Amino acid sequence: MRVRFADPRAPAQRLDAAGNIPPEALTYSVAVIRAAMDASGATNGRTLVLVPSYADVERLAPLLPAAIAHRQGTPIQKILEAYRATPGCCLITPGAWVGADLPGLIQNLVIPRIPFPPSGPGGQGNVAQLLSDTLTKLAQGIGRAIRSETDDATMWFADSRMPIPESVIEETGLLPSPHSTAALLGAIPKRFRDAFGGSLVCRHCSPLCC
């Protein structure tokens, strides 16, 4: 598995007070997804985009008309059947973080927004528990791309809250994102983190850091 991190200068994919994604953050997410789709298209491979909510699907779908959009009310199994049956497709869904078994069918996996759960009323909540829940869901999502030893996939993050590993910062001279949360790297399996300084990480390029 190769990993592409968001450019540290990219906006954090946070919801504003009205529950919307800032336009510049949405634009960046779309650019990352299109880059993943282009990479898949070179080999007629598939792209899976995991989003935290159906609201994210509705934000992205009009900007990515070639993608399969999993809208609320449609059973996930029906959507996954379409995904399996369509080489070269891109699926945007909040329903495949857990339980979707697609060995060999994910060439590019995109996480546009880190799946932080909603906080309590007034923004209150147990910070440690929220982070633990986020790490669990994020790890489950990443696991969709590595279901068997022969799976070969690229993992793309469009959210600068996922930190760039220190080995990459030292190699490239990039400044870390002010939005990043160091603990989130724990969601990536150790065997892949150990290789970040080698073949799994390439040098900085715009608009992505990989």
DSSP of 11-26: PP----TTS---HHHH
Q: How far apart are CA 199 and CA 195, in angstroms?
A: 7
Cα–Cα distance measured from residue 197 to residue 169, given in angstroms and rounded to the nearest whole number: 10
Going by C-alpha positions, the residue among 161, 60, 58, 9 that lies closest to residue 47 is: 60
Please name the residues in contact with 210: beta carbons below 8 A apart, sequence gap of 6 or more: 2, 3, 4, 5, 201, 202, 203, 204
pTM metric for this prediction: 0.87
pLDDT in tens, 19-31: 899 999 999 999 9
CATH of the domain at 153: 3.40.50.300
For 137-173, what is each residue's pLDDT tens digit? 999 999 888 876 777 889 999 999 998 877 666 666 6
Look at the chain and report how many structural domains it folds into. 1
> Under a CB-based contact definition with an 8 Å cutoff, are residues 8 and 208 in contact?
no
Domain that holds residue 136: 2-209
Q: What is the pLDDT of residue 78?
A: 96
CA 114: distance to chain centroid?
7
Distances (CA, A) of 157 to 95, 163, 164, 180, 184: 18, 10, 10, 12, 12
Question: Concatenated DSSP letters for 153-172?
Answer: -EEEE--TTSPPPHHHHHHH
What's the Rg (C-alpha) of the chain? 16
Q: What is the mean pLDDT of the chain?
A: 85
Find, among 62, 173, 52, 178, the residue nearest to 116 by Cα: 52
Pick 173 or 121 by higher pLDDT. Answer: 173
Contact 144, 174 (CB under 8 A): no
**108 or 174: whose pLDDT is higher?**
108
User: Position of tokens 């932080």?
Assistant: 116
